[in-house]
Amino acid sequence: MLTNWTYKKRLSIIFRRTSFLREYRDLLGNLKETQPRYLRTNKHDLYTEYVYSIPLGKVLTESLEKAIVEAFDCVCRVKGAGGRLYVRIYKYLLPDKVDYRAVTEYSKSVSSNVKYSVPIGLSIDNFIFHDFDKIPHMTVAGATRQGKTVFLKQMITYLLENYPEHIRLYLIDLKGGLEFGRYADLKQTINVASNATETRQLLEEVQRNMIHDMKYYRERGYTNVVDTPIKRRTFVIVDEAAQLAPEPYMEQNEKEELGYCQATLSEITRIGGALGYRLIFATQYPTADTLPRQIKQNADAKVSFRLTTEVASRVALDEQGAEKLATPGRAIYRTIEAVEVQAPYISDKESEERLAKFNVKEGLQHDDTSRDEVPGPDDDDPFQT
């Protein structure tokens, strides 16, 4: 561990090398440059924070942040606010594994009335949760074997364990259905697709439901599900979504099928959000073809595990960083700000055990969740009688 003095000294060298300096006039009236003014050190259980005043007219740049972060062999966060520069040097590193159970313990300990929130992971400060009623859609990127599928599974498990009566799932798993097949018999799962044709059929069903719901909302003057008494939320979760990108060598009808799938997923992000539809779109290669622009623009939450290049990171997160993530399960979660987290790990066995009580083979019916709230296209409308 470096001493306090060395931290300040290193910061001072960095300020000089990156010209993050303030000006003053010496006795002879010559313009000189000197360090930003050091104000104080704040000690905290998890970190020590050095506070400086920011030289007038200077802005915090990516290169200054990068220089500071790279100068210390520990977790370090740099923030500018209200004319102050805060450099936090953390005492601990993020762990390489965070158990799903630790998250459930944590969420029991904090009383929260936030609905439809799911854990994203442990940051250096605390557990981070995502609220799907605030930000309805999410993209997930990451090179192969970095933790995308585990992440989706822990979200599914958490959603069903915590809001079992209100969640409907449409699962699209384009790696042959091997991963999501295990959730096919849960009462909350409406449909699972494992190839392009099944995905088209599944999305046609979602689209029909959306059109129906829209009419229902309009008749009642509802504009957004979050302002209505409706508790039902429909999650459309796609893993390996790059498989939906049309390729030049494909037959015309295949291209059209995939084009329809991508367009309908975009439509969910465009109009589905207000109707209680939430899209989670996971892909290995984020490019303009595999991550359609509309989906990216309408998904205000972005998660990325390690990617192979900085360019890919910029596509996935609109900033660099995902190429430097060190270990599986380590991710950057970006809404307005970006936070590094270690995502919760859950094994297939634990996920299955926790959800076994929802298995329809044990006597439950598919989709009996809040059915009466918004009748389906084929139901009698209880509100109309």
Distance CA 183, CA 194 (A): 13
Q: In one letter, which amino acid is 295?
A: I
Q: In one letter, which amino acid is 192?
A: V
Q: Which stretch binds Mg ion (CB under 5 A): 60-68, 111-119, 145-153, 343-351?
A: 145-153
33, 25 Cβ separation under 8 angstroms: no
Number of helices (H) and strands (E), helices first, in the chain? 9, 18
Distance CA 52, CA 83 (A): 9
Closer CB to Mg ion, residue 210 or residue 241? 241
Q: At closest approach, how far in Å is the CB of 5 from Mg ion?
A: 47
Residue number of the CB atom closest to Mg ion = 149
Among 34, 112, 144, 287, binds ligand ADP (CB under 6 A): 144
Among 149, 194, 262, 266, binds Mg ion (CB under 5 A): 149
226, 237 Cβ separation under 8 angstroms: no
Among 9, 17, 37, 145, binds ligand ADP (CB under 6 A): 145
Q: At closest approach, how far in Å is the CB of 312 from ligand ADP?
A: 14
- Strand, helix or coil at 289? coil
Q: Which stretch binds ligand ADP (CB under 6 A): 143-151, 252-260, 290-298, 366-374?
A: 143-151
Among 296, 329, 332, 369, binds ligand ADP (CB under 6 A): 329
CA nearest 294: which of 322, 276, 272?
Answer: 272
Pairing mode, strands 98-99 and 344-345: parallel
Q: At closest approach, how far in Å is the CB of 149 from Mg ion?
A: 3
Query: Using CA atoms in the order 213, 120, 285, 292, what is the torsion angle rounded to 10 degrees?
Result: 30
Mask 90-129, x = binds ligand ADP (CB under 6 A)? -------x--------------------------------
Question: Is there binding between residue 264 and Mg ion (CB under 5 A)?
Answer: no
Partner from ligand ADP, Mg ion, none contacting 55, C-beta within 5 to 8 A by type:
none
Closer CB to ligand ADP, residue 99 or residue 254? 99
Q: In one letter, which amino acid is 254?
A: E
The position carrying tokens 């979602």 is 206
CA nearest 279: which of 166, 137, 118?
Answer: 137
Q: Which stretch binds ligand ADP (CB under 6 A): 81-89, 102-110, 145-153, 163-171?
A: 145-153
Q: At closest approach, how far in Å is the CB of 239 from Mg ion?
A: 6
Question: Is there binding between residue 292 and ligand ADP (CB under 6 A)?
Answer: no
Question: Is there binding between residue 149 and ligand ADP (CB under 6 A)?
Answer: yes
Question: Is there binding between residue 174 and ligand ADP (CB under 6 A)?
Answer: no
The two three-digit tokens of residue 25, written as one number? 């006039």
Q: At closest approach, how far in Å is the CB of 198 from ligand ADP?
A: 20
CA nearest 149: which of 283, 296, 265?
Answer: 283
Long-range contacts of 287-291 (CB under 8 A, 24+ apart): 287/312, 287/315, 288/315, 289/245, 289/246, 290/241, 290/242, 290/244, 290/245, 291/139, 291/141, 291/241, 291/315, 291/316
341, 154 Cβ separation under 8 angstroms: no
Question: Is there binding between residue 243 and Mg ion (CB under 5 A)?
Answer: no
Q: Which stretch binds ligand ADP (CB under 6 A): 69-77, 144-152, 242-250, 352-360?
A: 144-152
Partner from ligand ADP, Mg ion, none contacting 374, C-beta within 5 to 8 A by type:
none
**Binding positions for Mg ion, rule: CB under 5 A:** 148-149
**Binding positions for ligand ADP, rule: CB under 6 A:** 97, 142, 144-150, 328-329, 343, 345
